[in-house]
Every structure is written in structure tokens, then in C-alpha cells.
Amino acid sequence: MELSDEKPGASSINSNSSAAISPSTSPETSPSLLSLRHEIRVWTRDLLIAIGLALVIIVFLYQPVKVEGTSMAPLLSDQERIFINKFVYRFEAIHRGDVVVFWYPLDRSKSFIKRVIALPGETVTIRQGVVTVNGAVVPEPYVPPQYEDVSDYGPTRVPADSYFVMGDHRISSNDSRVFGPVPSQFIYGRAVFAYWPVDHFGSLAMTEAESK
């Protein structure tokens, strides 16, 4: 609070008076202080709105989940924390290479996370670990040599409205080679971002085009 000096020429005050004494003038608030207070209120309001919108986005669009198991290594490790986008497939199609989260077809109380390998209507064949879709080899830079499974599978045609999914850690993955293609209505999200541990912090997006 600012204090003002006594003005020259003001009447003297009798020190023996028992009456209450009040300043002859009220302290004035400077325009700069008023402007600062206004800016603080505006910034506080905008910050609260931004926090509210962020919470809405996280709660309704993104869901934090914990990965259990190593079937998606080295992309995802056991106990890693990631965000999944729960609404992305309401607005765009599922692509080859997407890392999707879905209800386990054999037990819908469980959720799995795998990579999309083949789309509806396509034919999947695996020979000595090499995956082909409709006769064309699928580039898989996300599968390290030490995680390859050199066994054979198929050919299998993916039904309409279903997707063939596999884990990147092929030799330890329970995937469509075991439980078959996943119906599209079972897929409820796409893994988009890892946030823990910090050395894995970053985007998880990878489509067919990005893998080439």
C-alpha cells in the first residue's frame, strides 16, 4: 500500500484532542497497479480454462494405461505407461502399422495391445518368419532379429471388419496367430504416446507409410 506525505498548509491537529483522527485524503491506487491486477486476473482465468480443457481432453479423449508383458518389445516394455487415443477410430480408418488396444477376443475382461499387420479382406502368410500380405512382403523394421519367430503360418484370409494383429516380440506374443483376427468392434484405441519411464518418453505413432 502506498502512503502519501502530509500536504503543506494543512490545519494543525491538537494532540490533546480525544477525537479519532483520519487522513484528510484517501490513498489513491495508481493506474499501473490496477492494470497489473487486471492482467493477473486475466492470466489466472485463462490458466484455469486451459487446465480444465486439458483435463477434459485427457479424461474423454486419452486414457493412461500400464503395459503388462513384453510382447511389444522393444517399442514397449513391461510396466511402461502410455496414453491411448480412445476416439481416433471414430474419425479415421485403422491403418497397417498402428499399435492398437483391444478387448481380448477370448476374454473381454482383458485388454491386449498389438500391431496391425493385415486389413480386412487381405491374406496373411508367414514363411520362416517373413510376413507377406496378398503376396507382398511387409517391411517390419520394428521387429529386431533376436525377436523374430521363424515358424510358418497361413495362408489366412482376414474376414471383413476384422484385423490381423501381432506383437513385435514375435517369439513371445499371443496374437492373431493364436486367437485369430480381431473384429473391429473390439478395437477401442490406438497407442499414441509413452510418458514413463522418461527414457521412452515420446510418440508411438507408426503407420505403414512411416515404416517404409
Number of domains in the chain: 2
In the residue annotation, 66 being an active-site residue is answered as no
Question: Do the beta carbons of residue 164 and residue 181 sit within 8 Å?
Answer: yes
Per-residue pLDDT at 18: 39
Same domain for 34 and 114, yes or no, is no
- Domain membership of residue 80 (yes or no) is yes
Same domain assignment for residues 152 and 123: yes
How far from 82 is each of 70, 107, 109, 193, CA to CA, in Å? 14, 23, 20, 6
Q: What number of CA atoms fall less than 13 Å from residue 55's CA on the CB side?
A: 6
pLDDT value for 46: 84
44, 149: one domain:
no
Residue 135 shares a structural domain with residue 169? yes
pLDDT of residue 103: 96
Q: Model's pTM, two decimal places?
A: 0.72
Catalytic residue among 22, 71, 110, 151: 71
- Give the pLDDT of residue 22: 46
Same domain membership, residue 55 and residue 69: no
71 assigned to active site: yes
50 and 127 inside one domain: no
Mean pLDDT by 10 residues, the chain (212 residues): 33 36 50 80 86 74 90 95 92 95 94 97 97 97 95 96 97 96 96 90 65 42
Structure confidence at residue 28 (pLDDT): 53
Exactly one of 12, 30, 114, 184 is catalytic; name it. Answer: 114
- Domain span including residue 183: 65-211
